[in-house]
A and B are shown apart, each in its own frame.
Chain A
Amino acid sequence: MGDDIRDLFFDPNHPTLLGGCARAASAEEARYRVQYPNSRARTSRIFALDAAAAEVMYGVTESPWNGAHFLTLSTTATIDPEATPAEALPLAHPDGAAADLGRELDGADVVVLLATRGDSEGAAEVIAREAFHRKIMCAGLALAQDQQDHAVDRVVNSMRRFASVLVVARDNDFVPAMLTALRA
């Protein structure tokens, strides 16, 4: 293309497709969009990293999700990521049954970490490490409802190194909104 865009616009030989876009972009044509599904069910794994995050998560686990698993840490002890291999991370399903991190992540499409506090960095690292090995996207959601700014910064910092996208949400109702949007 020449430096001057007018060369392009005034080029009489410029190929166009005779206005196919005009018809294709019309409301009438929108009706003919293929109606079959364009995706299969996802495998989402949502981890609450602390007790308050787990409370928020339990509030939505009852909804009909498309195969999402909701997991909590079944310990309040600090996790040392160096000393904790994946299989040693104590995880539980909402009904209390133990869960195994490796098995949960096999074939998963996305990992979502929920946190309200900044002291679960160790657990976040263990989960994110496993996700990273499997090339699974890891999203961090810092729940800031009723929290001071500096507390939220700690939450964000605890996940920043691991999350490929990080959201600071002021209200807990973003959790179901995000999971719905992601077809969890």
Chain B
Amino acid sequence: MLRKEVNDLLTQTDPGTPMGDMFRQYWIPALLARELPEDDCPPVRVKLLGERLLAFRDSHGRYGLIDEFCAHRGVSLWFGRNEEGGLRCPYHGWKYDVEGNCTEVPSEPAESGFCEKIKLTAYPLIRIGDVLWTHMGDKDNRPPRPEWEFATVPAEQTYTSKRWQECNWLQAMEGGIDSSHVSWLHSGSLKSDPLFKGARGNQYNQNDKKPVFEVVEADGGLFIGARRMAENDQYYWRITPWVMPSFTMVPPRGDHPVHGHFWIPIDDENCWAWSFDYHPTRALSTEERQAMIDGYGVHNQYVPGTFRPRQNKDNDYLMDRDAQKRGETYSGVWGIAMQDASLQESMGPIVDRTKENLVSTDNGIIMARHRLRKAAVALRDKGTPPPGRDIAHQMVRSAARVLPQDQPFKDAMKDDLTVRPGVKQTSV
């Protein structure tokens, strides 16, 4: 249960809200690099943290993320002409560069200097890996460029997708740290999904359906450990890191690529679910990459030409009651990503957490909310920068390993939970 005012605090991210200010402390994923594939390509509408923006790539390969609307009479610059080092509004020809500076107002004499008075809000847009990142906060307080491992390994080792999720970011993210749902909701997929099946660890999952959880705070967020019985009285551990505000990684299985997510608010009732898959030491195979493109694992299929999942609330997520009955899918919805999204969207745009009845196994979620709330309040009241900005906080990995009973995972798996360039993930 969460009191209404705390629920509001955590779920509202428009400009001027405490949680919105907190998200504006970080570099966040804004677009896939492939959405702006070449110089002077069509601009892309982007809504983030309740702000309508336009992303474009100019004639010189510079990326920009600016206020969507022309300062003259409010036309959407999505209709603009991206040419000769800037974006020109099609209505009366005002032109803007990637920093939002107005560089031409054709009706006014150039000598008047009028255009220098016009400036659209602009945020930096930088490419790291397959992702274009932005920082929507104070430019004098810009965090170091992000160094998440999935974004910094060579291109052939990584794949990133995003999908539009039609609910608040927090209920989506909470699914990412809710380890206790996996044995239920995704039970069918563990056996059949090409990006999951065949790992030895899966048998521990099947054999011991009642994992025990350990939640341990870390500098950047949390480690959520789920342990099950393995042979010889040992424990099979699966550790999910969460880095504030909204980065999670799924513990690996066998030599499958490792996956994880970012959950980024579009507005209070919509978010981007970013999903990545990478292998720290080898290229993804052709089959793996194709499986990701085809929507397996944590990825999904799309309504063509959009980032809206093909299974969405307008077609009841292609609910298949027969498959549910046969046990191929637990909920009747195909695919891990949409199994999660369908349920999270069903909660309503912003779930009313005053009605929840949490149990002790929900402690990962309880702790994450607690940390978010404290960080947002400390930022609001004291200006304290929140955890997760430091590069060191980003150097985490998920891991899976069998350990003797008396070894705390936080110590025994310290290296496994840290990015080690050139060393593969620890997995069973």
Contacts and interface: CB of A to CB of B under 8 A. Distances in A.
A14 B316 CA distance: 11
Contacts of A144: 217
Nearest to B342: A21
A182 B294 contact: no
A8 B322 CA distance: 12
Interface in B44-85: none
B33 interface: no
Interface string B383-425: 0000000000000000000000110101100000000000000
Given A22-B313, A139-B363, A167-B215, A38 B348 contact: no
A181 interface: yes
A182 B317 contact: no
A52 interface: no
7 contacts: A1-B328, A16-B315, A25-B167, A25-B349, A33-B348, A39-B357, A169-B367
A8 B216 contact: no
Interface of A: 1, 5, 8-9, 14-22, 24-27, 29-30, 33, 38-39, 110, 112, 137, 139, 144, 149, 153, 156-157, 160-161, 163-171, 173-174, 177-178, 180-183
B352 interface: yes
A30 B367 CA distance: 26
Given A5-B335, A139-B360, A181-B2, A24 B346 contact: yes
B17 interface: no
Q: Chain A interface secondary structure, helix, strand, loop or mixed?
A: mixed
Given A19-B313, A163-B212, A174-B370, A38 B349 contact: no
Interface of B: 1-3, 166-167, 210, 212-217, 269, 294-295, 301, 310-311, 313-321, 323, 328-329, 334-335, 342, 345-350, 352, 355, 357-363, 366-367, 369-370, 374, 405-406, 408, 410-411
Given A21-B345, A178-B367, 9 more contacts: A5-B294, A17-B319, A18-B316, A21-B316, A25-B166, A164-B360, A168-B217, A169-B217, A180-B3
Contacts of B323: 1
Given A1-B328, A5-B295, A181-B366, A168 B348 contact: no
A164 B321 contact: no
Given A25-B349, A166-B214, A168-B214, A182 B358 contact: yes
Given A25-B166, A139-B360, A165 B321 contact: no
Contact of B1 (A8, A149, A180): A180
Given A38-B357, A157-B406, A182-B358, A5 B352 contact: no
B361 A165 contact: yes
